[in-house]
Amino acid sequence: ISVCSNLILNTDPAISVCSHLILKTDPAISVCSNLILKTDLAISVCSHLILKTDPAISVCSHLILKTDPVISVCSHLILNTDPAISVCSNLILKTDPAISVCPHLILKTDPAISVCSHLILNTDPAISVCPHLILKTDPAISVCSHLILNTDPVISVCSHLILNTDPVISVCSHLILKTDPV
């Protein structure tokens, strides 16, 4: 596993929302160690994202942290039935046709698409939720480059995620923290 290996937990509480996603510069840290593997052998790409069979966990439970109680950061990334929670709760895999929340994130079975391509945008214009995620058609951009920010200034949610044009940074590096005070 190497793709997205530059995403690790940032224990620095000084950093704001979603700041737990930072570049992995410390080789001592293992790739996405906070995500556990799915037992389904048929899954290879992004197999570190699994569906927790624990029925106690609600929708989006497939995106969960490793059972290690030491890990707590990012725990807000699950769909909590608490109506008070809405941020990011619309991120789910559309495997169940009954699921409609943020359907623009669906499973792409086309093998022609590269690593992480199973997360693609639904062109259905009826969908507006999470519009800050748009399709990047530029083939010059590497793996996962189809997920980029919408430059529309009206959008502020997740604005801390910006495009990093620095070619020195590896795959998926286009998603980095906006620490630049500018």
Residue that is written with structure tokens 């792409």 in the block: 108
Please state, in angstroms and rounded to a whole number, the distance separating the CA atoms of residues 130 and 158: 9
Give the domain ranges of the chain: 2-102
pLDDT (tens place) for every residue of the chain, 182 residues total: 222 333 333 333 333 223 233 333 333 333 333 232 222 222 222 222 333 333 332 223 333 322 223 222 233 333 222 222 222 223 333 333 333 333 333 333 333 322 222 233 333 333 233 333 333 333 333 323 333 333 333 333 333 333 333 333 332 333 333 333 33
The H or E element containing residue 177 is strand 176-177
State the pTM of this model.
0.13
